[in-house]
Amino acid sequence: SRLSLWGGRFSGGPADALAELSRSTHFDWRLALHDIAGSRAHARVLHRAGLLDDAGLDAMLAALDELRADVESGAFVPAPEDEDVHTALERGLIERAGADVGGRLRAGRSRNDQIATLGRMYLRERARVVAGLVLDVVDALVEQARSHPGVAMPGRTHLQHAQPVLLAHHLLAHAWPLLRDVQRLQDWDARAALSPYGSGALAGSSLGLDPEAVAADLGFDGAVENSIDGTASRDAVAEFAFVTAMVAVDISRIAEEVILWATKEFGFITLDDAYSTGSSIMPQKKNPDVAELARGKTGRLIGNLTGLLATLKGLPLAYNRDLQEDKEPVFDSIDTLEVLLPAFSGMVATLVFDTERLESLAPQGFSLATDIAEWLVRQGVPFRVAHEVAGECVRVCESRGIELWDLSDDDLASISEHLTPGVREVLTVEGSLASRDGKGGTAPVRVAEQLEGAAAAAQEA
Ligand code: ARG
C-alpha cells in the first residue's frame, strides 16, 4: 500500500490530493546518494549496538551498494506513490534486501534527523563548488587588474566624477567582497559541520546508537549538542541562502557597471562576441545579456532567502512539515549560481577596456579639485579655506567652460594669494594618483601591493 511507513494505525491510504501535496521526490531526489551514505553509516551503528548481526550488516550494505548503483545509473527512480526521497529509498532497499533485513534499517532514526543531516551534507558539498566558481570570478578580476597597470579612470561617487583612480584599484574593489563571500562560505561550514543523525524524531534514540560515530562516518566534525535543535533548526540553511544571495548581490553590482560601461555614452568597454548577444530586429545591437541576467537572477536569490526566513518565522519546536519547504529555495540558489558564475567569469575575463578613453576622462569633471585643496593644506592653509578656494577654481572654470589646468597664473592668483603656479604639479592625473599613497589608496605602488594581496588570498582560499 501507499505510504507504508506508518500503515499500522491507519485504516486506509491517504487521499490522492494529500499524496499530491505531500510528494517531494521531484526536488529532494538530488539527496538520494547522501541518503544512502547516511543509511550505510546508520547500518554500521546498528551493528555496533548489537541490533544487526554480521550477516545482517553484510546483506544490508550489499543491498545499499546495489541500490546506489541503480540510483546512479537511473535504473532506480522514485515511483509516484513514494512520498519523499527516504520513502523511495526504503522501498528500493526492501526490494533488494527483503523485508526482514531491509525493514531493520529504520530503527533509531527518523526522517526528521535524516533530512536535517542530508541537507547539511549536500549544502557543504555545494558550498565548495560555489566557492570555487566565485574564485574564478575573482581570478578574472585580478587578471584584468594585472594586465592594466597604471591605467587611470574616473572614480565616481553618486555616479558623478569624484577623483581619478586606477582601473586596477576599481576592479579589485569588486574582488575583495567576493573573497569575503568565499570566507563566509568557509566560516559557515564550521557551523554546518555538525551532524543531526541520532536526534531521531526530536528526543534522541533509546537504542544505544552512537551519533558521534555516524557523524565521523559522514565527514562531519561531530554530532549536534541538542536533538531538538538538530531536527528543528534551519539556520544553517538560511545562512547558506544569505551567503549565496550576497554573492549574487556582489556579482550584480559588477553587472550593473558592465551594463553602463558598455553603453555608447560611457564607452569604457567592449564585450567579447562570445559573451554578448544580438538583436533579432536591430542588426547593430550587441547586448550585455550575461550582466543583465546576473542582475536579474539576483532578485531570485534574495527572494529565496526572504522566503525561507518567512517559512521559519513562528515555527514552534520541534520538527514541522513546513520545514520541507527549506529545500527548493536553496537548491534554486545553488543551481542559479552554478550556471551564472561560469558565464560571468568568462565575460569579465574577456572584457576589452578602452584605456585611452578611460584615461582621458579621468581628470574631467573637475576631479582634481580635491588635489588643489590638499595641496593648499600642505602649504599650511586650513582645509576650510582650502576647500573654498578649490571650489572657487571650479566655479570659474565652469563659467568659462574650461578645465582646472587651463587656469592661468593670473587666474589662480586672483582666486587666492595661496594659489602659486606650484599647484600645477598636482593638476595631473599621475600626480593625483601618486599622492594617494596610504595603505589601500590608489597610488600605483599601493595598488600593486593589494593586487598581490588579492591574488594570494584567492590562492589560499
Ligand atoms: N520530507 C520531509 C522534509 O523534507 C522529511 C520527512 C519528515 N516528515 C515527517 N512527516 N516527519 O522535511
The predicted-structure confidence for 377-436, as pLDDT tens digits, reads as follows 999 999 999 999 999 999 999 999 999 999 999 999 999 999 999 999 889 999 999 999
CA of 72 to the centre of ligand 1 (A): 23
**What is the Cα–Cα distance from 155 to 166, expressed in whole angstroms?**
8
Instruction: Provide the residue ranges of all domains of the chain, joining segments of one domain with +.
Output: 4-107, 112-150+164-353, 361-460
pLDDT of residue 182: 98
pLDDT of residue 51: 95
pLDDT of residue 11: 81
pLDDT of residue 4: 60
Domain 112-150+164-353 is classified in which CATH homologous superfamily? Fumarase/aspartase (Central domain) (1.20.200.10)
ipTM over the 0.90 cut-off: yes
Residue partners of 11: CB distance under 8 A and separation at least 6 = none
Reply yes or no on domain 361-460 having CATH 1.10.40.30.
yes
Radius of gyration of the chain (CA): 31
CA of 111 to the centre of ligand 1 (A): 6
Query: Which three cell numbers, joined as nine digits, stand for 41?
Result: 553509516
Q: Which one, of 353, 416, 431, lies nearest residue 170 by Cα?
A: 353
Pocket of ligand 1 contains residue 234 by CB under 6 Å:
no
Rounded to two decimals, what is the model's pTM? 0.95
Pocket of ligand 1 contains residue 323 by CB under 6 Å:
yes
Q: Which fold has domain 4-107?
A: Fumarase C; Chain B, domain 1 (1.10.275)
Pocket of ligand 1 contains residue 232 by CB under 6 Å:
no
Q: Could you say which residues of the chain have pLDDT below 70?
A: 1-4
Residue 319 CA, distance from chain mean position: 28
Q: Are 178 and 250 in contact (CB under 8 A)?
A: yes
pLDDT of residue 279: 83
Ligand 1 atom 3: the closest Cα is on which residue? 324
Q: Which atom of ligand 1 approaches the CA of 85 most closely? A: 1
Pocket of ligand 1 contains residue 111 by CB under 6 Å:
yes
